[in-house]
Amino acid sequence: MSATATTSNANREVCSRACQKHNRFFNQSRTRESSGQQWGPWFPPECPQCVEETAQRVQREEAQRQFDQEVLPILKAGVIARSEKRFEQEEGIEEALAARADELEAQWLVDAWAANRKAFLARAKDEILNRFDQEIIAEEREKFFEQQRGVKAQADAELQNKLDAEREARAKQALASWIF
C-alpha cells in the first residue's frame, strides 16, 4: 500500500492509502499520547475489505482447528467402521483395488528409479567393468598358456634334439665298438 495524502497535528495523523489488492482508497489514522512519544500503529491496519477477508480466514482456520482437535477424535472410530463397511459393500472393489495397486506399483518403480538412479548406474557400470575384467583375464590366461605351450614345445624340441643327439652318439659309439 502506498500513502497518497497525509495530514497531521501534534498527536494525530490521518492519511489516505490505496489498497493494491482491492484497488481502493481508505483512510487510516494513528495517535500518540503526547509530543515526543512514538506513534501508535495505523488503524485500521488494512482496507476494510482486507480486514473482512482476514477476519473470515481467521474464523475458518479456528473452525478447522476446532473440528480437527475436538470433533474428529470423537468421530474417528465410527468413521473407520463405516469406511470398512462401505468397502465391503462396494461392487467391483477387487478390480478397483487391483488397478490401484498396479498404479501404486508403477509409481513406486518410477520413484525408486529416480531416487536410486545414481546407485543403479554405478551398479550397471560395475557389472560391465567386471565383465570386461573377466574378458581381459581370459585373454591374458590364453596368452599365458599359449606362451607356456610355446616354451614347453621349445623345451620339448630341445630335449628331443638332445635325446636324438645322445642316441646318435651312442649308436655311433656302439657301431664303432663293433667295427674296431
Q: Is residue 18 located within the same domain as residue 97?
A: no
In a domain? residue 34: yes
φ/ψ of 154, rounded to 5, equals -65, -45
In which domain, by residue range, is 122 found? Answer: 93-180
Of the three residues 11, 27, 45, the one that is the final residue of a domain is 45
Q: Which residues contact 44 (CB under 8 A, 6 or more apart)?
A: 26, 28, 51
pLDDT score of 175: 75
Does the pLDDT value for residue 3 go beyond 60? no
In a domain? residue 125: yes
pLDDT score of 152: 84
Does the pLDDT value for residue 1 go beyond 50? no
In a domain? residue 37: yes
Q: Is residue 114 located within the same domain as residue 176?
A: yes
pLDDT score of 64: 94
Work out the pLDDT band at 88, boundaries 50, 70, 90: confident
Query: Could you tell me which residue, 106 or 11, shows the higher pLDDT?
Result: 106
C-alpha cell at 174: 656302439
What average pLDDT is seen over the chain? 86
Total structural domains within the chain: 2
pLDDT cut 70: percent of the chain above it: 94
Q: Mean pLDDT throughout 80-88?
A: 88
Does the pLDDT value for residue 17 go beyond 80? yes
Q: Is residue 102 located within the same domain as residue 21?
A: no
Q: Is residue 34 located within the same domain as residue 112?
A: no
As a whole number of angstroms, the distance between CA 30 and CA 44 comes to 9
Residue the block writes with cell 489514522: 29
CA distance from start to end of the chain = 138
In a domain? residue 123: yes
pLDDT cut 90: percent of the chain above it: 27
C-alpha cell at 32: 500518540
In a domain? residue 170: yes
pLDDT score of 142: 92
In a domain? residue 8: yes
In a domain? residue 79: no
In a domain? residue 12: yes
Q: Is residue 39 located within the same domain as residue 97?
A: no
Q: Answer left, alpha or beta for residue 92, where phi above 0 means left and psi between -120 and 50 means alpha.
A: left
Q: Is residue 41 located within the same domain as residue 97?
A: no
Q: Is residue 177 located within the same domain as residue 99?
A: yes
pLDDT tens digits along 28-57: 888 887 767 787 777 777 888 888 898 999
